[in-house]
């Protein structure tokens, strides 16, 4: 009960600050929209898709996963600013739940990601993308879990390194191979065997496959439950690890 209240308290505060500066929505959405408008049209011929809509069914889920990964991984920067301002230290001398300090922030990130995901989906509708609402909601759940994990990990790393200068290259180094090995831009069905072999070890590749299956309306596909389970487990691990960083001493 106390934990839920504490989480809600931090979440409210974070959302309030976010709404005070709504520029973030446009900044966050700008890049994916560029991909949607300037890159996606190349896909129909490249993927040999029968229609533009079919190409979007493959591309949009990948784009959303990309948004969740990157959006989450770079949240640590905000935390470093809070660390520097002494806000985290001030919170840590109160009896507030340490997990709530993390989760309140990560849930804000999840909400802001979902708002962006909805905007992208709506734009894609203009380009004849059609998805069943139930499948779409499950896909959003997958995105929420990914964002929860990546933002929690980013916060945990931020608490460890405590400096933007260290966080930026670290996150880029992680994000780059993760991105390429997840078949986000092009499906890995085109990849040679060795590359697919490596990609099988990339959890995000499973998440992308699962999300694609959902967008394709293939709810019964094994990929759906596999992707959801893997991301759920990873999200739990990420949150657990990051919450421990919040509980430990922070300078």
Partner 1 sequence: MIETRGLRKSFRSRAGRETKTVDAVRGVDLDVAKGEIFGFLGPNGAGKTTTLRMLATLIEPDGGEATIAGADLRKDPAEVRRRIGYVPQGGSTWDESTAREELVLHARMYGINKADAQRRAARALDAFQLTEYADRKCKTYSGGQRRRVEIALGIIHEPKIVFLDEPTTGLDPQSRAHMWDEIRRLRADGMTVFITTHYLDEADALCDRIAIMDNGEVVAEGTPTELKREISGDVVLVGLDLAATPQAAQTLDGEPYVNKLETVDEGGLRLYVDEGATAIPQVLRRLDHAGLELRSIELHRPSLDDVFLTKTGRSLRES
**CA 113 centroid distance within chain:** 7
Which backbone phi and psi does 109 adopt, to 5 degrees?
A: -65, -40
Instruction: Tell me, residue by residue from 14 to 33, as one string, x for binding to partner 1 by CB under 8 A and - for no binding.
Output: --xx--xx------------
Asked if residue 162 binds partner 1 (CB under 8 A), the reply is no
- Considering only 24, 54, 92, 160, the residue that binds partner 1 (CB under 8 A) is 92
Q: How far apart are CA 191 and CA 172, in angstroms?
A: 23
Cβ of residue 119: shortest distance to partner 1, in angstroms? Answer: 24
Give the Å distances, CA to CA, from 104 to 44, 97, 99, 236. 41, 10, 8, 15
**CA 23 centroid distance within chain:** 19
Asked if residue 109 binds partner 1 (CB under 8 A), the reply is no
| 9 contacts 105 by C-beta, under 8 angstroms | no
- Considering only 22, 45, 50, 86, the residue that binds partner 1 (CB under 8 A) is 86
Asked if residue 250 binds partner 1 (CB under 8 A), the reply is yes
What's the sign of the alpha-carbon dihedral 16, 175, 171, 236? Answer: positive
| 241 contacts 158 by C-beta, under 8 angstroms | no
Asked if residue 247 binds partner 1 (CB under 8 A), the reply is no
Which CB sits closer to partner 1, 96 or 199?
96
Cβ of residue 86: shortest distance to partner 1, in angstroms? Answer: 4
Q: How far apart are CA 140 and CA 112, in angstroms?
A: 12
What does the angle CA 191 – CA 208 – CA 237 come to, to the nearest 5 degrees? 120
Cβ of residue 114: shortest distance to partner 1, in angstroms? Answer: 23
Asked if residue 166 binds partner 1 (CB under 8 A), the reply is no
Q: Compute how many residues bind partner 1; rule: CB under 8 A.
A: 23
Residues within the interface to partner 1 (CB under 8 A): 2, 6, 9, 13, 16-17, 20-21, 82, 84-87, 89-96, 249-250
């Amino acid at each position: 009960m106390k934990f839920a209240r504490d989480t809600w308290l931090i979440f409210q505060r974070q959302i309030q600050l976010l709404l005070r500066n709504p520029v973030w929505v446009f900044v966050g959405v700008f890049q994916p929209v560029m991909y949607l408008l300037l890159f996606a049209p190349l896909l129909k011929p490249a993927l040999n898709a029968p229609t533009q809509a079919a190409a979007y069914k493959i591309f949009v889920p990948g784009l959303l996963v990309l948004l969740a990964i990157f959006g989450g991984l770079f949240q640590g920067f905000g935390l470093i600013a809070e660390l520097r301002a002494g806000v985290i230290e001030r919170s840590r001398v109160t009896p507030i739940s340490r997990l709530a300090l993390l989760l309140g922030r990560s849930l804000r990130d999840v909400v802001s990601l979902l708002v962006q995901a909805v905007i992208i989906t709506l734009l894609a509708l203009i380009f004849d993308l059609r998805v069943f609402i139930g499948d779409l909601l499950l896909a959003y759940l997958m995105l929420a879990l990914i964002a929860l994990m990546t933002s929690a990990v980013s916060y945990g790393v931020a608490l460890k390194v405590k400096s933007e200068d260290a966080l930026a290259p670290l996150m880029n180094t992680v994000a780059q191979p993760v991105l390429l090995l997840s078949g986000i831009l092009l499906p890995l069905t085109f990849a040679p065997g060795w590359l697919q072999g490596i990609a099988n070890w990339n959890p995000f590749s499973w998440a992308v496959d699962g999300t694609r299956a959902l967008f394709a309306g293939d709810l019964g596909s094994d990929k759906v439950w596999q992707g959801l389970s893997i991301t759920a487990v990873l999200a739990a691990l990420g949150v657990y690890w990051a919450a421990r960083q919040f509980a430990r001493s922070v300078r």
